[in-house]
C-alpha cells in the first residue's frame, strides 16, 4: 500500500531582513510568530501549517539540516474568508499596501495580490476558488 | 477589527520540466494533479491546500496575474502520519529516492529530507513536531 501525504505543512520564502519580514507578516498581516533564530529565520504559524522566512545565505549553509535557498519572487496564497474581502481591501489600503491586482475567479471568489517587502507575491483569497 | 488569515492556501515551487515534476509528485509521492497548463504550470491538490509548480520563465511574464518566479532550491514540508514513517522510508528507497537526511525532533517526530528532480528540498514529517 502506498503511504499517504495529508497536506502541506511548511511553506518557505527567502527574505533579506527578518525584522522587516516580521513587521510585514506579523504586524500588518497579523500572523503569529512561532519561533525565530536571529540572523537565520523566523517561523510563522498560520492555522494548521507553518510559513517560514529564511535568510537564504544562511539556509544554504545547511549545517544540521540540508541546504536550501532561492532568489527571486516566490508566490504564496493565504486563506481568508470570502466575506472578509472588502475588510481586507480597506485594511491593506489603510496600511499603505499597494494592491497590485484584484482578480475575480467567476463567482467563486476574488484574489488580492500584493508584495511583501522582499517582492514575494502574496495573495489573499478564499479557498472556494479551488473547490476547497 | 483586524481581518483574519486562516491558513496557507497555495505553496509554489519552480521547475524546469512539468512532466518530470508530475512523474515525481504524482507518480511517486502519490499527490493528485488538480489542473495544468502545458508549458506553464501544474497544480497539485494536497489535503486542504494547493502545491503549484511553475516554469519560472513563464510565470515571470505575468499576463493575467502578477509576475513571480524564483531560482534555487526551495524547501517545502509535506504532512504525513507519524506511524507511516517506516513505510515512507521503505517506499522512497524502493523508488530510488535518496534520503539526504533523517532528523529526529526529540520524541515529537522525525523528518525525512530528499530532493525533487529540480533540487527543491522536500521534507516528509508529522505535524506533531510543531505542536499541530
Please state the rounded mean pLDDT for residues B96-113: 97
User: What residue ranges in chain A does DSSP mark as E strands?
Assistant: 7-14, 32-37, 41-46, 49-54, 69-73, 75-79, 101-104, 110-115, 121-125
Same domain as B50, residue B21? yes
Q: Most B CBs within 10 Å: which of A1, A2, A3, as the mutation test of the B interface?
A: A3
Question: Residues A25-53, buried b or exposed e (16+ Cβ, 10 A)?
Answer: beebbebeebebeeeebbbbbbbbbbbbb
Cell of B62: 505575468
Same domain as A92, residue A62? no
pLDDT number for residue B127: 97
CB A18 within 8 A of CB A50: no
- The C-alpha R_g of chain B, in whole angstroms, comes to 16
pLDDT number for residue B63: 84
Same domain as A63, residue A6? yes
User: What confidence category does residue B57 fall into, taking pLDDT thresholds of 50, 70 and 90?
Assistant: very high
Same domain as A87, residue A49? no
> A4 vs B127: CB contact, 8 Å cut-off?
no
Share of chain B above pLDDT 90, in %: 95
Q: Which residue, of A49, A71, A93, is where some domain finishes?
A: A71
Same domain as B81, residue B38? no
Q: What is the CATH number of the domain that holds B50?
A: 3.10.180.10
Which residues of B are less than 8 Å from A80 in CB distance? Answer: 3-6
Cell of B122: 522536500
Same domain as B18, residue B52? yes
Same domain as A86, residue A116? yes
Same domain as A4, residue A55? yes
Angle (CA) A5-A108-A13 rounded to 5° is: 45
pLDDT number for residue A60: 98
Same domain as B78, residue B33? no
Number of folded domains that form chain A: 2
Q: Which residue, of B37, B55, B71, is where some domain finishes?
A: B71
In this complex, is the C-beta atom of A122 within 8 Å of any C-beta atom belonging to chain B? no
pLDDT number for residue B8: 98
Share of chain A above pLDDT 90, in %: 95
pLDDT number for residue A132: 83
Same domain as B78, residue B63? no
Residue A113, pLDDT above cutoff 80: yes
Same domain as A97, residue A43? no
> B49 vs A7: CB contact, 8 Å cut-off?
yes
> A72 vs B73: CB contact, 8 Å cut-off?
no
Q: Would you state the torsion angle of the CA atoms of residues B42, B46, B50, B52, taken in this order, to the nearest 10 degrees?
A: -30
Q: Domain range for residue B57?
A: 1-71
Helix (H) or strand (E) holding B26: none
User: What confidence category does residue B73 fall into, taking pLDDT thresholds of 50, 70 and 90?
Assistant: very high
> A10 vs B84: CB contact, 8 Å cut-off?
no
Structure ipTM: 0.97
Q: Which residue, of B43, B71, B99, is where some domain finishes?
A: B71
Same domain as B1, residue B44? yes
In this complex, is the C-beta atom of B65 within 8 Å of any C-beta atom belonging to chain A? yes
Amino acid at each position: 500500500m502506498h503511504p499517504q501525504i495529508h497536506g502541506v505543512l511548511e511553506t518557505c520564502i527567502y527574505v533579506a531582513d527578518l525584522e522587516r519580514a516580521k513587521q510585514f507578516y506579523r504586524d500588518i498581516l497579523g500572523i503569529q510568530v512561532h519561533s525565530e533564530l536571529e540572523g537565520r529565520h523566523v517561523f510563522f504559524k498560520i492555522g494548521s501549517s507553518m510559513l517560514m522566512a529564511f535568510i537564504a545565505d544562511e539556509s544554504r549553509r545547511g549545517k544540521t539540516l540540508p541546504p536550501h535557498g532561492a532568489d527571486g519572487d516566490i508566490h504564496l496564497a493565504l486563506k481568508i474568508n470570502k466575506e472578509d474581502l472588502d475588510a481586507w481591501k480597506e485594511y491593506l489600503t489603510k496600511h499603505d499596501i499597494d494592491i497590485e491586482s484584484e482578480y475575480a475567479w467567476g463567482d467563486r471568489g476574488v484574489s488580492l495580490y500584493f508584495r511583501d517587502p522582499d517582492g514575494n507575491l502574496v495573495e489573499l483569497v478564499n479557498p472556494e476558488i479551488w473547490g476547497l
